[in-house]
Amino acid sequence: MSETATQIPTDDTQPMLPAVKRFISQLRDLHANQPDESVRWSEAAERLQELLADPEVKAHARNWPTSPAKLGLEGKHANLIFYQDPDYGFVINGLIKKPAAKTTIHDHGKSWTLYGVLDGTESVLRFRRTDGGSPGDLPKRAEVEATETVHVGEGHVDCIAPWEIHAEYNDDNATSTAVIVRSQKSGTFIQNIFYQKDNSVEQYHGPEQIPYNFG
Ligand SMILES: [Fe+2]
C-alpha cells in the first residue's frame, strides 16, 4: 500500500464527509470482528445502503468529474478512488456510466465487491460458464450464458462474490452513479473478461484508479 499512500487517502486527515468516515469505521469494525467473509460482506452491504441514502453523499456525487472521458467509457471504465484502508486493504471507489453504457462481461477475480447504485437505473446481469470450466482457472476461451437479469435503481447494493461473472448495462436515458467497495484495490489481482462474440477470454488487472476526495 505504500506506493499509493501519497495519492490515495488512507486516513481521515483528507477531506471526507461525516457519513463516509462513519462508513469506513463500520467497515473496519467488520474486518476486525467478522472472520466469515460472506457474513462480513453481506453486513457491509447493509451499511453501504445507509451510506447511499445520505443526502450529503448524494449531493457530493453530483459534482464527481466525468472527465477524463475514460470515466464514462464503454467497456473498461476507470474508477474514482476515494479511500484505501491502511490495515485491511479495502477500498472505496466511484463510478459514473453514461446513458446506454455497458460494462464488459467480467469477474472480479478473488476479490469481494459491493456495487451500490447512488443514482440512475441499470440492469445487473449474472452469467455462468457452460463449458465445464471452474471459476478462477483463468482460461483463454470460455462459453458463458446469462442466468439472471435484474433491473435496479437508487439504493440497490449488489454483493459480488469472488469469481462471480456479471455485467451492468445502463438504461438508454440514464446516467448512473455508483459507490463501489472492494476487498482490495484494483490492480492488485487478476480478473477475467469474457467475450461472447468469439468465446475468447482476456485477463486484466481491472479499471484504472483515479484519486479523488470524498468530502
Ligand atoms: Fe464488475
d(CA 124, CA 202): 21
Q: Would you list the DSSP string of 21-65?
A: HHHHHHHHHHHHH---HHHHHHHHHHHHHHHHT-HHHHHHHTT--
Instruction: Assess if residue 104 is contained within a domain.
Output: yes
Contacts of 50 (CB under 8 A, 6+ apart): 23
Q: How far is the CA of 165 from the centre of ligand 1 (A)?
A: 8
Region of 206 please: left (phi>0), alpha (psi -120 to 50) or beta: left
58, part of any domain = yes
pLDDT at residue 4, as a whole number: 41
Q: What is the pLDDT of residue 61?
A: 95
What is the model's pLDDT at position 1? 39
Taking alpha carbons only, the member of 81, 80, 62 closest to residue 70 is 80
Average pLDDT (25-38) is 98
Say what the pLDDT of residue 71 is: 65
Per-residue model confidence (pLDDT) at position 130: 97
- In the predicted structure, residue 84 carries a pLDDT above the cut 60: yes
pLDDT of residue 53: 98
pLDDT above 90: residue 145: yes
In a domain? residue 12: no
Q: Compute, in angstroms, the gap from residue 157 CA to the centroid of ligand 1.
A: 12
What is the average pLDDT across 63-87? 79
What mean pLDDT is predicted for residues 5-32?
A: 83
HSE at residue 58, side-chain half, CA atoms within 13 A, is 12
Is 85 a residue whose pLDDT tops 90?
yes
pLDDT at site 65? 87
Task: Give a yes or no: residue 9 inside a domain.
Answer: no
Residue owning grid cell 470482528? 33
φ and ψ at residue 157, rounded to 5 degrees: -120, 125
State the total domains in the chain: 1
Domain for residue 72, yes or no?
yes
| d(CA 26, ligand 1 centre) in Å | 23
Collect all residues with Cβ–Cβ distance below 8 Å to 210 and sequence separation of at least 6.
68, 71, 78, 79, 80, 81
- Answer whether residue 2 is part of any domain: no
| pLDDT of the residue at 134 | 87
CA distance 170 to 97: 7
Query: Cα of 107 to ligand 1 centre, how many Å?
Result: 6
State the average pLDDT for the chain.
91
For residue 95, the enclosing domain spans 18-211
Q: What is the pTM of this model?
A: 0.91
Distance 93 CA to ligand 1 centre (A): 12
CATH number where 81 lies: 2.60.120.10
Residue 160: inside a domain? yes
How far is the centre of ligand 1, averaged over its atoms, from the C-alpha of 82 (Å)?
18
| For range 120-125, the mean pLDDT | 96
Mean pLDDT lowest among 73-82, 95-104, 112-121, 185-194: 73-82
| pLDDT band at residue 72 using 50, 70 and 90 as cut-offs | low
- Cα(29) to centroid of ligand 1, in Å? 25
pLDDT digits (tens, 9 = 90+) for 160-198: 999 999 999 999 988 899 999 999 999 999 999 999 999
Cell triple for residue 201?
477470454
pLDDT greater than 70 at residue 29 = yes
Inside any domain, residue 168: yes
Nearest-angstrom CA–CA distance, 170 and 44: 25
Give the pLDDT confidence score for residue 199 in this predicted structure: 97
- How far is residue 171's CA from residue 188's CA, in Å, rounded to a whole number? 31
